[in-house]
């Protein structure tokens, strides 16, 4: 009986894992996170090496995605891209990208801007914030399944919520054979 | 064991009372009519309920100690009468307390003639304070500090930007929630000059406990002087260091979130910093406003108040020096 209780107590501890919230990068980390190595046309390239050492926190961490969602609102992204559907700026959730869909391309679009209207935010946001926003923008289209999602909108949602399964899952699914 | 308990109590009781003399934040030391009526209410509730408790205890002791007597029919009749009387007394007392409570809280949100109108907007985890006026050029925005004139009703219009907060300045009034998408009002009047601490009284996230603001009640002349000073734009930098700080602030990420009137910094996401050095505290009651604490806050806000929405902005020591020097000059 006692053994069973001990076993149960130990097993119940396994569920105690909580997502860690990394509230800020140390300044050297932040500096390293800015060291992206883009291709010559500034579309695509290699992510900073430290991103892998940190375990790619801006892709699968709900807190970071949520901060990205907050920044999407706060820094006026909605003004041109609406809720991802696009207005005077291109859509961010239709799977078509003029300047690349990978994290490095999106980071470069945010930091340095792009021709025909996308402003540069490198002087307005910190490296952490730009990566958070990159992670959120990549989650907008929901083309890949993810275990993390930001919280729901307070207002009515103009598209499927980010915390639903991938929007394109039904299309991508292949027969298992 | 028991002796140790009493020895410990002998320490704790005077310690607990040492805070009683402070008027900084206490509902039991009212500084205005609304808080006074609430304090009267709580004292009368305590007194009435205390007397009832004492009577119940006396009756209980009497019942335990008296000699057992065999039951008779006439005792049964007397017991019925006593129980009937006790039920009647309970109904009367509870009705009386309810009416007292109604009378004391009824007038709390009444409109008063010619109030000072202050809009308070709660954010995670700070307060935006807007002094409204019929003339738009007399309206201004500040943060994390409220000044009110003595003996004049102040109408607080409360709302929130993100989650539900609650405004509570115990020396002046009861709690009132700040709810996103709603406007609640609360009228306060201060009769004694002083600084009263207000704080958020509704759990609102990680830094709920560090969401406070001082409410400063001062005479009409001092209030008008303060209001006039707050209306002005930020003073121009005097030293070269301050000028360098201003240039860094307006060119860098700081200006994306903060407004300093009189410069190009016009962000609306964080507190207005036009007269930040004139306030008693920074970071919503967290640190006293000094150049040192400003620098500490800018250098690493996430260690002082983990989870708040101000990022750590990387900067060189010179930039930190100059930007804190400039902010400390914004009186």
* Tens digits of residue pLDDT in A57-91: 898 889 999 999 999 999 999 999 988 888 899 98
pLDDT at B303 over 60: yes
Segment B32-47, tens digit of pLDDT:
998 999 999 999 999 9
Residues of B in contact with A127 (CB under 8 A): 314
Mean residue pLDDT of chain B comes to: 90
pLDDT at A167 over 60: no
What pLDDT does B104 receive? Answer: 86
Mean residue pLDDT of chain A comes to: 85
Q: Is some CB atom of chain A closer than 8 A to the CB atom of B238? A: no
Please tell me what DSSP assigns to residue B66: S
Q: Is some CB atom of chain B closer than 8 A to the CB atom of A63? A: no
Helices (H), chain A: 2-13, 27-33, 49-53, 57-60, 62-74, 78-81, 103-112, 127-140, 169-172
Q: Is some CB atom of chain A closer than 8 A to the CB atom of B302? A: yes
Best to test chain A binding among B311, B312, B319 (most A CBs inside 10 Å): B311
What pLDDT does B19 receive? Answer: 47
Query: Are the beta carbons of B312 and A21 separated by less than 8 Å?
Result: no
Give a yes or no: residue A150 inside a domain.
no
Q: How far is A42 from chain B (nearest CA, A)?
A: 24
**What ipTM score was computed for the predicted complex, to two decimals?**
0.82
Query: CA B219: distance to chain centroid?
Result: 20
Give a yes or no: residue A77 inside a domain.
yes
Q: How confident is the model at residue B3 (pLDDT cuts 50, 70, 90)?
A: low
- Domain total of chain A: 1
Give a yes or no: residue A50 inside a domain.
yes
Please tell me what DSSP assigns to residue A115: T
What the block records as the tokens of B110 is 């009444």
Residue B155 and residue B173 in contact, taking contact as beta carbons nearer than 8 Å: no
Three-state DSSP state, B306: coil
What pLDDT does A146 receive? Answer: 76
| Out of A24, A74, A126, closest to residue B269 by CB | A74
Query: Are the beta carbons of B253 and A126 separated by less than 8 Å?
Result: yes
Segment B96-135, tens digit of pLDDT:
999 999 988 887 766 778 899 999 999 999 999 999 998 9
What the block records as the tokens of B188 is 């306060």
Query: Are the beta carbons of B311 and A124 separated by less than 8 Å?
Result: no
Segment A17-49, tens digit of pLDDT:
778 888 988 999 999 999 999 999 999 999 999
Phi first, then psi, for residue A84 (nearest 5°) are: 115, -15
DSSP-derived pairing of the beta strands B212-218 and B146-149: parallel
**Positive or negative: CA dihedral A77, A80, A83, A86:** negative
Residue matched to tokens 């008008």: B224
What the block records as the tokens of B181 is 């998408």
CATH number assigned to the domain comprising residue A117: 1.10.760.10
Give a yes or no: residue A130 inside a domain.
yes
What pLDDT does B12 receive? Answer: 57
Query: Are the beta carbons of A126 and B314 separated by less than 8 Å?
Result: yes
Nearest C-alpha in B relative to A74:
B269
B216: β partners: B147, B195
pLDDT at A166 over 80: no
Q: Is some CB atom of chain B closer than 8 A to the CB atom of A40? A: no
Q: Which of A30-34, A92-96, B152-156 has the lowest mean pLDDT?
A: A92-96
Q: How confident is the model at residue A11 (pLDDT cuts 50, 70, 90)?
A: confident
Three-state DSSP state, B159: strand
What the block records as the tokens of B163 is 């989650």
Rg of chain B, C-alpha, whole Å: 27
pLDDT at B149 over 80: yes
Query: Are the beta carbons of A125 and B252 separated by less than 8 Å?
Result: no
Query: Are the beta carbons of A24 and B180 separated by less than 8 Å?
Result: no
Give a yes or no: residue A41 inside a domain.
yes
Q: How far is A57 from chain B (nearest CA, A)?
A: 16
Q: How far is A25 from chain B (nearest CA, A)?
A: 8
Give a yes or no: residue A68 inside a domain.
yes
Give a yes or no: residue A153 inside a domain.
no
Rg of chain A, C-alpha, whole Å: 19
- Would residue A42 be called left, alpha or beta, if left means φ above 0 and alpha means ψ between -120 and 50 degrees? left
Segment B10-34, tens digit of pLDDT:
555 555 544 444 558 888 899 999 8
What pLDDT does A153 receive? Answer: 81
Residue B132 and residue B141 in contact, taking contact as beta carbons nearer than 8 Å: no
The boundaries of the domain holding residue A98 are 26-141
Residues of B in contact with A73 (CB under 8 A): none
Q: How confident is the model at residue B199 (pLDDT cuts 50, 70, 90)?
A: very high
Q: Is some CB atom of chain B closer than 8 A to the CB atom of A75? A: yes
pLDDT at A95 over 90: no
What the block records as the tokens of A9 is 């107590």
Task: Report the distance separating Cα B92 and Cα B88, nearest Å.
Answer: 6
Residue A70 and residue A93 in contact, taking contact as beta carbons nearer than 8 Å: no
Q: Is some CB atom of chain A closer than 8 A to the CB atom of B252? A: yes
Residues ≥6 apart with Cβ < 8 Å to B183: B157, B158, B159
Q: Is some CB atom of chain B closer than 8 A to the CB atom of A20? A: no
Task: Report the distance separating Cα A11 and Cα A75, nearest Å.
Answer: 45
Q: Which of A49-58, B221-230, B273-282 has the lowest mean pLDDT?
A: A49-58
Query: Are the beta carbons of B306 and A129 separated by less than 8 Å?
Result: no
Give a yes or no: residue A118 inside a domain.
yes
Segment B46-74, tens digit of pLDDT:
999 999 999 999 999 998 998 777 777 77
Q: How far is B306 from chain A (nearest CA, A)?
A: 7
């Amino acid at each position: 009986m006692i053994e069973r209780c001990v076993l149960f107590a130990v097993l119940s501890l396994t569920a105690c894992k909580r997502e860690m919230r990394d509230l800020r990068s140390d300044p050297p980390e932040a500096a390293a996170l800015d060291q992206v190595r883009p291709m010559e046309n500034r579309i695509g390239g290699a992510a900073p090496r430290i991103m892998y050492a940190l375990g790619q926190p801006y892709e699968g961490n709900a807190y970071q995605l949520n901060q990205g969602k907050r920044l999407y609102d706060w820094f006026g992204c909605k003004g041109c891209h609406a809720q991802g559907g696009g207005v005077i700026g291109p859509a961010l959730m239709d799977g078509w990208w003029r300047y690349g869909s990978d994290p490095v391309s999106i980071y470069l679009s945010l930091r340095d801007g792009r021709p025909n209207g996308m402003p540069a935010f490198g002087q307005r946001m910190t490296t952490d914030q730009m990566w958070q926003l990159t992670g959120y923008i990549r989650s907008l289209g929901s083309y890949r399944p993810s275990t993390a999602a930001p919280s729901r909108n307070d207002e009515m949602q103009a598209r499927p919520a980010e915390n639903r399964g991938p929007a394109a899952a039904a299309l991508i699914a292949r027969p298992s054979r | 064991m028991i002796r140790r308990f009493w020895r410990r109590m002998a320490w704790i009781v005077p310690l607990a009372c040492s805070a009683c003399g402070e008027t900084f934040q206490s509902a039991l030391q009212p500084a205005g009519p609304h808080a006074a009526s609430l304090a009267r209410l709580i004292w009368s509730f305590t007194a009435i309920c205390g007397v009832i408790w004492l009577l119940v205890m006396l009756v209980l002791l009497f019942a335990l100690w008296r000699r057992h007597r065999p039951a008779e029919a006439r005792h049964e009749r007397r017991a019925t009468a006593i129980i009937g009387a006790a039920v009647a007394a309970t109904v009367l007392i509870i009705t009386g307390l309810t009416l007292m409570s109604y009378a004391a809280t009824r007038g709390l949100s009444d409109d008063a003639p010619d109030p000072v109108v202050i809009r308070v907007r709660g954010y995670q985890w700070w307060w935006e304070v807007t002094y409204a006026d019929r003339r738009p050029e007399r309206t201004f925005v500040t943060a994390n500090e409220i000044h009110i004139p003595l003996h004049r009703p102040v109408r607080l219009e409360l709302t929130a930007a993100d989650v539900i907060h609650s405004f509570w300045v115990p020396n002046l009034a009861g709690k009132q929630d700040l709810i996103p998408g709603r406007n609640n009002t609360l009228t306060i009047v201060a009769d004694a000059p002083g600084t009263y601490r207000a704080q958020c009284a509704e759990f609102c996230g990680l830094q709920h406990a560090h969401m406070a603001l001082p409410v400063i009640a001062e005479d009409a002349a001092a209030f008008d002087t303060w209001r006039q000073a707050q209306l002005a734009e930020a003073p121009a930098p005097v030293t070269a260091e301050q000028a360098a700080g201003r240039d860094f602030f307006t060119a860098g990420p700081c200006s994306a979130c903060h407004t300093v009137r009189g410069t190009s910094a016009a962000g609306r996401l964080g507190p207005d910093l036009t007269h930040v050095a004139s306030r008693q505290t920074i970071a919503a009651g967290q640190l006293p406003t000094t150049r040192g604490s400003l620098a500490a806050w800018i250098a690493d806000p996430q260690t002082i108040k983990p989870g708040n929405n101000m990022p750590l902005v990387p900067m060189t020591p010179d930039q930190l020096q100059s930007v804190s020097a400039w902010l400390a000059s914004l009186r």
